[in-house]
Amino acid sequence: MSDATSDTRPNIMEIDLGALDANLARIKGLLAPGTKIIASVKGNAYGLGLSEIAGRLADGGVHSLTTGSFTDAMTIRKAGINTEIMMFGGALPSGMATYVAHNLVPTVHNMELAEAVSAAARKPTKVYLKIDSGWGRLGIPLKKAKQFALDVARLPNVLVEGIYTHLPFFDAAGMVFAQQRTEAFDALVADIKRAGLEIPIQQARSSAGILAGIKDACNAVSPGGILYGKSPLPDDVVDTSAFRPVTRAVRSRLIHVAPDAADRTPGFASRYAERVTGATGVLPFGRADGNRAPLPGREAYMLVAGKRAPVLGVSSEHAVIDLSGIPGARVGDEVVVLGRSDDEEITLKDLAAWQGTTGSDILLMLSNRLQRTHVG
C-alpha cells in the first residue's frame, strides 16, 4: 500500500507487540510472586515507539514506567496512559517543580534535588532515592546513603517511596561484582529500616541482573533492553533464546541503481570503485535515519531479494550497497536492513558487531524519520 510517507522516504520499522507481551511474561516467570516491574521506556522506548510500547506495558500490568525525558513523560500522558512514571536522573533542581506539577515521581541523588522537591510540593510527594553501589555515575555513595535517606525523609512534603541502584554488567566477572554490590545495597536498605525509615519499593536488578539470577532482598526490578529482546549479556554467560526480538524488521527501498562501477566519475564512488565490478544501489537510509557505516575491517551487508549486498558507504541521507551479485535489482526493490529475506537474516547482534556497539544502542539511534508499524 502506497502513501506519502512511505513513497517520499520508504524506511519502515516493523515492531512486534506480541513479542513484547511474551518477553514481559517471561520476565514475570523469572521473578518471585508479587515483584513489581518498573519498565524502562527511555529513548522513545528504545526506538520502538513510545505511546504504543508504554500502552502495551501498562496493559500488561507493570507497576510503573521510567524515563529520563520530560517530553517522553508528556507523550505517555497525552496517549491516555495513567501508569505511574518515575523520572530517573537528568534534571536540574529547578526542574523539580515541573515534575511535581505534572505528578511525576522524581529521582533525587543529592540534597539540592530533594530540597527543590520539598519547596515545590504543596502536598506529600513521592520521590525515589538513587544510590551509587559501584557503577560510579549518578547516586549517593553507599557509605553516605543511610544519612542521606533519613535527611530526605525529614523534608516537608517529601515521601521516600523508593530506593534503587544500577549495577549493569557484561560478563561473568562483572556478575560476581554485581552480586557483591547488590548484597551491600540490601544491607543498606535493612540498615535504613532499623533506623526507622521503611521504604516501600527497593530495586537493584535491571536486565542483566534478572537474566543472570542475581539474588537480592528487593521487591522490584527494572528491565530495559530485555523487554525488547535485547540481552546485555553474551550467550556464553546466559541463555536468552526464550526472549523474542520486538524489532521484527527495518526495511527500505532502492531509489537508484547505477551501472558498472567502471563508468563512474571520481567522487564518493571512488572510495569503493576497486571493490565493485557491477552495479551499485542507493537507499535513503543514512546517518540521519540512525544508520552507521561498519567499522574499518568489518564487512556489513544488507539483503536484496534474499541475497547479500555489501555496504559500501553511508552518508547523512543515503547508504550505498554493492549489487554486483544481484543483476536483476531495480528501483523500488525492497532492501532489508534488519530482519529476514528468504533464507538470509540480519539480526541486531549482526548490526552491533559491524558497527562496534550494542543492540540497545542500535535501537536508540534509529531516528523518528522511520515510519513505525506495530503489529500483534
SS (H, E, C) 42-54: HHHHHHCCHHHHH
Helix 17-29 and helix 50-59: axis angle, to 10°?
40
DSSP assignment of 239-253, as one string? --TTSPPSEEEEEEE
Give the end of a domain, one of 201, 228, 255: 228
Share of the chain above pLDDT 70, in %: 95
Which among 310, 308, 309, 306 has a CA at the least distance from the CA of 343? Answer: 306
pLDDT attached to residue 358: 87
- 108, β-bridge pairs: 129
Residue 319 lies in a domain: yes
C-alpha cell of residue 23: 518477553
Query: Would you place residue 179 in the very low, low, confident or very high pLDDT band (cuts 50, 70, 90)?
Result: very high
Instruction: Write the CA distances from 134 to 131, 179, 212, integer angstroms.
Output: 9, 11, 18
* H-helix or E-strand spanning residue 362: helix 359-365
Residue 6 lies in a domain: no
The set of residues, in sequence order, having a beta carbon less than 8 Å from that of 23 and lying 6+ positions away, is: 226, 227, 228, 229, 243, 244, 246
- Give the least confident one: 1-15, 56-70, 76-90, 341-355: 1-15
- Give the least confident one: 27-31, 177-181, 303-307: 177-181
pLDDT attached to residue 218: 98
Is-contact 301 324, C-beta < 8 A? no
Residue 350 lies in a domain: yes
pLDDT attached to residue 272: 58
Residues, the chain, total?
Answer: 376
Share of the chain above pLDDT 90, in %: 80
**Count of C-beta atoms within a 10 Å radius of residue 311:** 22
Indicate whether 137 and 280 sit together in one domain. no
Residue 12 lies in a domain: no
The set of residues, in sequence order, having a beta carbon less than 8 Å from that of 108 and lying 6+ positions away, is: 114, 117, 127, 128, 129, 130, 152
Indicate whether 126 and 266 sit together in one domain. no
β-pairing, 201-205 vs 220-221, is: parallel
Residue 19 lies in a domain: no
Question: Is the per-residue pLDDT at 192 higher than 90?
Answer: yes
Indicate whether 110 and 256 sit together in one domain. no
pLDDT tens digits, 254-271: 999 987 765 655 455 455
pLDDT attached to residue 273: 55
pLDDT attached to residue 173: 85
* pLDDT averaged over every residue in the chain: 92
Query: Would you place residue 233 in the very low, low, confident or very high pLDDT band (cuts 50, 70, 90)?
Result: confident
What is the count of structural domains for the chain?
Answer: 2
Query: pTM score, two decimals?
Result: 0.91
Indicate whether 358 and 217 sit together in one domain. no
Residue 113 lies in a domain: yes
Domain at 61, CATH number:
3.20.20.10
Indicate whether 222 and 280 sit together in one domain. no
pLDDT attached to residue 1: 44
pLDDT attached to residue 158: 98
Q: What's the half-sphere exposure (Cβ side, CA atoms, 13 Å) at 93?
A: 9
Question: Is the per-residue pLDDT at 251 higher than 80?
Answer: yes
Is-contact 4 363, C-beta < 8 A? no
Domain that holds residue 304: 247-375
Decide: residue 327, CB within 10 A, 0-12 exposed, 13-18 middle, 19+ buried: exposed
pLDDT tens digits, 102-148: 999 999 999 999 999 999 999 999 999 999 988 778 999 999 999 99
Residue 324 lies in a domain: yes
Q: What is the CA radius of gyration of the chain?
A: 24
Residue 296 lies in a domain: yes
Indicate whether 153 and 40 sit together in one domain. yes
For the chain, where are the E strands, in sequence order?
A: 12-16, 36-40, 64-67, 84-87, 105-108, 125-132, 140-141, 158-165, 201-205, 220-221, 247-253, 256-258, 280-283, 301-304, 307-314, 319-322, 334-341, 344-346, 371-375
pLDDT attached to residue 116: 98
Indicate whether 307 and 200 sit together in one domain. no
pLDDT attached to residue 319: 96
